[in-house]
Amino acid sequence: MIQIELLGDLVIILAVAVVVVTLLHRLRVPSIAGFIVVGLLIGPNALGFIRDVHQIELLAEVGVVLLLFGIGLELSLERVRQLWRYVLLGGAVQVGLTILVTAGLAVQFGATWPVAVFMGFIVAVSSTAIVLRGLAVRGELETPHGRLVLGILIFQDLAVVPMMLVVPVLAGSGASLGQTAAALGIALAVLVGILVAAGVVVPRLLEIISRTRQRDLFVLGVFTICLGTAWLVSLAGISLALGAFLAGLVVAGSEYRHQALADLIPLREILASIFFVSIGMLLDVGAIGQNILAILGLLAAIIVGKFILVSLAAALLRLPLRISLLTGLILAQVGEFSFVLFKAAAKQNLLPSPLDDNLLVAVILSMVITPLLIVAAPHLSYNLGKIPWLKRRLRLPTTDDADAEKSWRNHVIIAGYGLAGQELATTLQQRAVPFLVVDLNPANIRLAAGRNQPVYFGDIAQADVEEHIGLARARLLVVAINDTRAVVRAVRLAHQAAPGVPIFARTTYLQDVDRIRRAGAAQVVCAEVESAARLNELLLDHLCVSDDECRDRLTDIRTQVASG
């Protein structure tokens, strides 16, 4: 009967989710927020369609494991090493500042130091699952703010391990600080050992399995690695979800990552959706109504305070104001690992009532509004960045005074120093055409400087940056950055400031071409169209077909996209 009841609960969840999320999608509400609303509606505290939340929570925990395993698959250890500056500096500053400020404020409002520090732990972590999924859907993981967000999230997730070990000490019922430090050392040693062993064993194991050419066996092997590594890591006191994330990083280092990700996606999406539904089930509308002022006060303090602290941490990395504010808005919530900390605190009776319930509701509400914040963050950060006093307090200098006074004329401006920007800069350098590179990535800045190419660390979507680089006197502006929304803003601002300067831009998808052109771009190169055209050319060459009509068709496609 239990199995039948669980099956019925799953049918209810999926059926209501399909209807509600579809309706909310028409209102442009993100799907994650829709799933949380579904949980609120059908949970025991509202319509009561589902009474036994425990069974759903077990499935939700598996969903988080698969979700973070998939996130790890999309990153790889090499990618994490590339983000070391954001992980170690940005993450450490953000987590440290958040704990200190939260604890200090909590003490001022009457909390004891152990409770205050634990509240700092709760507020310090953000939602890896919601944020990364939201950025991935919007194609922003490779943008400057996407890389910073990812680096900070990695540090936050790793910081949960020592936080869990410190909870018994804060409650006064656990081991001493020395014993806790020893336990932490053991946990880290086990973690390193598992990662090293997995790095040696996993690629070999996947190679052996792949030789069988049995897809079902490969899927079984991937799930065994995911759940097995998570379970082994959990034995060292580390959460299952973090263990699964690390397992994904290991598999991502092999040549089988893409197949593993493709096989994982369907089940991952279903169970991850159940996780978000389970969050909504925790909300009690009645309890919220009784303590609405206290809950809203905690929610406002979390969102506003964390936005400020994350923005400061980003600014200390010498990132432009817009990126700092954008990162602060995206990470202003509390994450799913807070529930792991809540469970540990409940066992130790660390949080007094009603603070525990109010804080839990505030945390869930912060996660509910996160998808909406991610959608609104580019617009909000752009407008906040224009506030004069905020610019004076947060913005750090990005050039030397001598460089700032240099006058540029009749030059080409290249915004973005990725592969396309590098090739353009090299071409112009070889032909002695004056040009200037503008980029937000410090690594790209150093790379351009190492090649003796003039480079400016700044945000092309800011008016003062465009003025400094002499846009009005430029010969041409090329916008080759990854963030489509930033491309639109930069093109629109540049066209308004210097309507006589031609603007060339690039984008990934055909659907964005018209929007960029309306913003003022003279030419838009679409990677989707170019790849299709190139594949057609390769096909004709391989088949030894010399069809002028086909080739003319490819030219027409490119021309139509360029001219609109």
pLDDT of 291-340, one tens digit each? Answer: 888 888 889 999 999 998 988 888 888 777 777 888 888 888 888 778 77
Tokens for 486, please give them. 């930033």
Nearest Cα to 457, choosing from 442, 470, 474, 475? Answer: 442
CATH code of domain 2-392: 1.20.1530.20
Closest CA to 160 of 334, 303, 310, 341: 341
Q: Has residue 62 got a pLDDT over 50? A: yes
CA pair distance 425, 420, nearest whole angstrom: 9
Query: Which tokens sit at 509?
Result: 């998808």
Q: pTM of this prediction? A: 0.65
Q: What DSSP element (H or E) covers 272?
A: helix 257-281
Largest CA distance in the chain: 82
Structure tokens at 10: 């799953």
Cα atoms in the Cβ-side hemisphere of radius 13 Å centred on 106: 24
What gap in Å lies between CA 480 and CA 460, rounded to an integer?
11
Q: What is the pLDDT of residues 384-407, one digit of tens each?
A: 655 655 555 444 334 333 244 456
User: What's the confidence (pLDDT) of residue 251?
Assistant: 75
Q: Three-state DSSP class for 478?
A: strand
Main-chain dihedrals φ then ψ at residue 87, nearest 5 degrees: -65, -55
Distance (Å, whole) CA 264 – CA 66: 8
For 8, the token pair is 């019925």
Query: What residues does each domain of the chain span?
Result: 2-392, 401-563
> For position 402, what pLDDT does the model report?
29
The dihedral through the CA atoms of 129, 131, 135, 141 has a sign that is negative
Residues 6+ apart with CB under 8 A from 437: 414, 417, 421, 425, 448, 453, 454, 455, 456
Cα–Cα distance between 203 and 188 in angstroms, integer?
23
Which CATH number is 401-563 given?
Answer: 3.40.50.720
Is beta strand 523-526 parallel, antiparallel or unpaired with respect to 476-479?
unpaired
Give the containing element (helix H, strand E) for 504: strand 503-507
For tokens 């190169």, what's the residue?
525
CA gap 370, 295 in Å, rounded: 17
Q: What is the mean pLDDT of residues 15-29?
A: 79
Average pLDDT score over residue span 537-551: 66
pLDDT tens-digit readout, 243-296: 777 777 777 766 666 667 666 666 777 777 777 787 777 777 777 777 888 888
pLDDT of residue 404: 43
Q: How far apart are CA 360 and CA 119, in angstroms?
A: 11
- Which tokens hold the place of 501? 């300067």
